[in-house]
Amino acid sequence: MPGLIFRWAAPLFARAARRWGEDDAEAFARLLHPALQPHGRLLDLGGGTGALAALLARVVPCTVTVVDPSPHMLRYAAGLADVEPVLGDAAALPFTDDSFDAVLVCDAFHHFDHREAAAREMARVVRPGGAVVIAEIDASARSTRMISLGERLLGEPAGFMRPADLERLMEAVGVPGSTQRQGGSSYVFVGEVAPLAGRGHDDR
Ligand SMILES: C[S@@+](CC[C@H](N)C(=O)[O-])C[C@H]1O[C@@H](n2cnc3c(N)ncnc32)[C@H](O)[C@@H]1O
């Protein structure tokens, strides 16, 4: 179930998503490279309004599938060039194994109710050798504690993680990788799907 905040505040998120620019898309494209090549298959998980996906679609260039459980967020993605909106939940993705070359999760992982199941699903739907990029903020940063409190008050899971904990979780599902510090409390995890990672699980 998507949080209620992504129903009533969808227009605010759509406005906030205008912060994304071509520079951001180019930076993410570099992190997704070489797994994601021109005309490759990219999943933007928790992609919301599709604003970042549309920029990536132009910059790479490729088609970007945006998965999000909130129809209120997703409706902004309808009609964007080379963006395919799909209503769905990160913990049970409606795709066969190896459907994508890469997945990007930007400012969304801490909103997922079932983060471990979502991590397994990412490992399953991205082909071996494919890229997993997760942009998050550090749970141990003082500013994150305030954000976390605010999100919890709004009914969100606020599942912020420390970089090392996210690395451990991803390694456990077969996506070894490392985190890089971005500005402030932000960081990005970049991992590569190991052979057979995420396959053969039916305990979601
Ligand atoms: C803060 S928005 C980020 C949107 C976009 N990635 C961006 O950076 O502009 C978080 C998104 O995560 C989505 N989300 C929440 N729970 C989810 C889940 N279980 N599976 C997939 N997406 C989810 C929300 O609906 C929302 O669109």
Give 2-51 as a 3 state SS string: CCCHHHHCHHHHHHHHHHCCHHHHHHHHHHHCCCCCCCCEEEEECCCCCH
Q: Is residue 160 part of a domain?
A: yes
Q: Is residue 169 part of a domain?
A: yes
What domain range is 84 assigned to? Answer: 5-89+97-192
> Cα-flanking dihedrals φ and ψ of residue 190, to 5°?
-125, 120
Q: Is residue 202 part of a domain?
A: no
pLDDT in tens, 5-31: 999 999 999 999 999 999 999 999 999
Residues with a CB atom less than 6 Å from ligand 1: 2, 6, 13, 17, 45-48, 51-52, 67-70, 73, 89-90, 106-108, 111-113
- Give the model's pLDDT for residue 197: 80
Q: Is residue 204 part of a domain?
A: no
Question: What pTM value is reported for the model?
Answer: 0.96
- Give the model's pLDDT for residue 200: 57
Which residue's CA lies nearest to atom 9 of ligand 1?
Answer: 17
CB atoms within 10 A of CB 198: 21
> CATH number for the domain including 74?
3.40.50.150
Q: Is residue 198 part of a domain?
A: no
Low-confidence stretches of the chain (pLDDT beneath 50): 201-204
Q: Is residue 143 part of a domain?
A: yes
Q: Is residue 197 part of a domain?
A: no
Contacts of 73 (CB under 8 A, 6+ apart): 2, 6, 10, 13, 14, 48, 49
Number of domain units in the chain: 1
pLDDT in tens, 59-82: 999 999 999 999 999 999 999 999
Contacts of 19 (CB under 8 A, 6+ apart): none
Q: Is residue 200 part of a domain?
A: no
